[in-house]
């Protein structure tokens, strides 16, 4: 344990924190002592309790047991404001912003800069807001409503707000999930400077190389328990971390190489596909049995490409050919009938019925697409649900568990599983492992691999380059609405993907 080393005392200490939801223990007597001037990496699979722990420390949730100490004195945070007053600030993974309010107002939400009599000082706030955003490298119109911003920009607004509250302890909950590599570098520089000035930082990420690059200490959680912690000195023992994360020492630390497949049959062809500003002539061939990755910086049209092929977004020009036949998708329904299925980017809003159960979600597509709507095939659907849960290794108490109570990885498996009742010929996946832990990520790609082995194909967009390099047969790189590079075999290297992402040939 690192706590015995001569380090500055922790400003905020979580001691033996326990929390359970509906009888299931989310945290079991967990200690955490982030120290001033150091970045503490908090690693754990989804459902391991990282977010719960952080929310308790930030006053958004009360623990069932244990205590928080601020400068050695017991403290009780009943609201986020209590925590902020004591210098504990959290930047959430999903930005908590008011979409209709301008950017500058969101930066001061709940902590308005007021002049005499409680009137908001507009000029001062706007000027301060501009400086706050400059600090994180965001140069946008601060008067526009936040809803106009991209996911990456909203994330940076959330981070800028947290930074501005002059935290003694800053919690960054997966801040990089939506950011491009350049923005991540910039953020890290800022975090390091903040740490150097004596702030304690808790950093959560699923990307090991980010933890390696940024963190001084590491704590690993599994199933609500602290299973390991040590000091990092610039390098990370990846195999050890993976073992601790999965609790499965037999699991290979690296993914097994995918066997080359017969890739002669073309399943899907795009010719000069255009849609609005996002897609400006996309050409690609998707072969039977392959997993084709789409890489590139954020917002180069990857998500729109998948949406357009799925019939979810109108195309303005070009052709989509499925098994040699030209299609003009008007509705997702037309594409689903042909087995072209989308696992959308935002699983909470587009992928799942969050207030329904696992079983209802798995059966949703089958119900919507059944040929004779007046005849419910209850028994068949129940059978399908019963088989799909173990097939995709969905960790659930059963089909009647509300889908909202599953971890992110298991929710994503449900999104994939709902398509399996019908034929799947082209599986479109938009960042399928966003906020998904490493083990579930592997299981999701295993499922995709099994699916395409039967002759169908998958088109995957992922914001994590390593994920694509690990799992895909070929990688396309998009830049400003076009495919600028196709890489396969030994040419599939991080370097070439990144070079192409910036619109340059390697």
Partner 1 sequence: MSAVTGQPRTRLAVAPWQALRRSGLGPGLLMLLVVVSLNIALQPDFFSGSSLSGNIATFAPTILICVAQAVIVLSRELDLSLGAGVSLINCVMASLPQDKLGGPLGVIAVAVLVALLLGAVNGLLVAYAGLPSLVATFATGAIWFGLALTIMPQPGGVISDAIGDGYAGTLLGIPVPLLIIAVAMACWALLARHRAGRRIIAVGSNPEAAAVAGIPLRRTKLLAYLVAWMLVCLGAIAISAQTMSGDPRLGQSYTLASVAAVVIGGVSLGGGRGTPWGALIGALVLGLVTNVIYFAGISSSWQEFVKGFVIVAALGFMVLEGRRRA
User: How far is Cα 149 from Cα 299, in angstroms, rounded to an integer?
Assistant: 11
Among positions 143, 262, 334, 494, the unique one binding partner 1 when judged by CB under 8 A: 143
Q: Does 81 bind partner 1 (CB under 8 A)?
A: yes
CA atoms within 13 A on the CB side of 356: 14
248 contributes a contact to partner 1 by CB under 8 A: no
Q: Are 488 and 475 in contact (CB under 8 A)?
A: yes
Binding residue (CB under 8 A) for partner 1 from 16, 122, 330, 337? 122
- Among 295, 308, 291, CA closest to 427: 291
b/e sequence 411-439, b meaning 16+ C-beta within 10 Å? bbbbbbbbbbbeebbbbbbbbbbbbbbbb
How many Å is the Cα radius of gyration of the chain? Answer: 24
When binding is defined by CB under 8 A, the residue of 30, 97, 157, 218 that contacts partner 1 is: 97
Could you say which of 119, 259, 375, 495 contacts partner 1 (CB under 8 A)? 119
* Binds partner 1 (CB under 8 A): choice among 72, 74, 76, 150: 150
Measure the CA angle with vertex 436, ends 470 and 41; round to 5°: 95
Residue 149 engages partner 1 in binding (rule: CB under 8 A):
yes
Picking from 71, 40, 77, 11, the residue whose alpha carbon sits closest to that of residue 172 is: 40
- Rounded to the nearest whole angstrom, what is the least distance from the CB of residue 140 to partner 1 in the complex? 5
Task: Give the pairing type, strands 39-44 and 200-204.
Answer: parallel
| 140 contributes a contact to partner 1 by CB under 8 A | yes
DSSP 8-state symbol, 74: E
Q: Is residue 497 within the footprint of partner 1 (CB under 8 A)?
A: no
Q: Burial, 357: exposed, middle or buried (Cβ in 10 Å; 0-12, 13-18, 19+)?
A: buried
Least distance to partner 1 from the beta carbon of 253, Å? 35
**Residue range at the interface with partner 1 (CB under 8 A); choices 70-78, 118-126, 224-232, 438-446:** 118-126
Exposed, middle or buried, 230 (CB in 10 Å: 0-12/13-18/19+)? middle
78 binds partner 1 (CB under 8 A): no
Residue with smaller CB distance to partner 1, 117 or 390: 117
Q: State the minimum distance, in angstroms, from the CB of residue 100 to partner 1.
A: 4
Asked whether position 334 contacts partner 1 by CB under 8 A, the answer is: no
Is 178 near partner 1 (CB under 8 A)?
no
Instruction: Give the residue with the Cβ less far from partner 1, 150 or 209.
Output: 150
Query: Which residues lie near partner 1 (CB under 8 A)?
Result: 60, 79-81, 84, 92, 96-101, 105, 109-112, 114, 117-120, 122, 130, 137-143, 145, 149-150, 152-153, 156, 182-183, 277, 297, 299-300, 480
């Amino acid at each position: 344990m690192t706590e015995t080393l001569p380090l500055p005392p922790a400003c905020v200490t979580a001691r033996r924190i326990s929390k359970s939801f509906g009888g299931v223990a989310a945290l079991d007597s967990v200690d955490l002592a982030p120290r001033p001037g150091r970045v503490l990496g908090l690693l754990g699979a989804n459902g391991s309790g990282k977010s719960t722990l952080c929310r308790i420390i930030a006053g958004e949730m009360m623990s069932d047991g244990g205590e928080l100490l601020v400068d050695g004195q017991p403290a009780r945070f009943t609201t986020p404001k209590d925590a902020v007053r004591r210098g504990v600030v959290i930047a959430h993974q999903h930005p908590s912003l008011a979409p209709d309010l301008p950017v500058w107002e969101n930066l001061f939400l709940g902590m308005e800069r007021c002049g005499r009599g409680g009137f908001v000082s507009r000029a001062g706030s706007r000027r301060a807001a501009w400086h706050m955003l400059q600090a994180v490298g965001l140069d946008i119109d601060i008067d526009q409503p936040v809803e106009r911003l991209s996911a990456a920009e909203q994330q940076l607004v959330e981070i800028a707000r947290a930074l501005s509250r002059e935290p003694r302890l800053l919690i960054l909950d997966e801040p990089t999930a939506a950011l491009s590599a350049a923005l991540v570098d910039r953020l890290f520089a800022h975090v390091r400077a903040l740490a150097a000035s004596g702030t304690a930082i808790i950093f959560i990420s699923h990307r090991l190389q980010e933890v390696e690059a940024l963190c001084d200490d590491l704590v690993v959680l599994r199933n609500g328990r602290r299973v390991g912690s040590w000091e990092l000195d610039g390098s990370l023992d990846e195999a050890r971390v993976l073992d601790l994360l999965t609790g499965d020492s037999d699991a290979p630390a690296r993914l097994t190489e995918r066997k080359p497949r017969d890739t002669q049959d073309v399943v899907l062809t795009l010719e000069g596909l255009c849609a609005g500003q996002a897609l400006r002539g996309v050409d690609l061939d998707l072969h039977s049995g392959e997993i084709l990755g789409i890489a590139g910086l954020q917002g180069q049209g990857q998500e729109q490409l998948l949406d357009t092929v799925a019939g979810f977004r109108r195309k303005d020009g070009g052709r989509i050919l499925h098994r040699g036949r030209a299609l003009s998708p008007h509705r997702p329904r037309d594409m689903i009938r042909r087995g072209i299925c989308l696992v959308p980017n935002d699983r909470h809003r587009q992928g799942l019925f969050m207030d329904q159960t696992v079983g209802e979600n798995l059966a949703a597509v089958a119900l919507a697409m059944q040929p004779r709507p007046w005849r419910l095939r209850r028994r068949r659907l129940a059978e399908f649900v019963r088989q799909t849960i173990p097939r995709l290794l969905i960790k659930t108490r059963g089909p009647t568990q509300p889908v909202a109570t599953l971890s992110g990885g298991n929710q994503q498996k449900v999104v994939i599983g709902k398509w399996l009742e019908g034929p799947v010929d082209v599986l479109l996946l938009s960042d399928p492992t966003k906020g998904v832990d490493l083990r579930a990520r592997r299981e999701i790609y295993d499922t995709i691999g099994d699916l395409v082995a039967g002759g169908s194909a998958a088109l995957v967009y992922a914001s994590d380059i390593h994920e694509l390099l690990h799992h895909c047969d070929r990688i396309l790189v998009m830049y400003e609405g076009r495919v600028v590079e196709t890489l396969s075999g030994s040419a599939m290297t991080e370097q070439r993907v990144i070079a192409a992402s910036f619109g340059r040939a390697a």
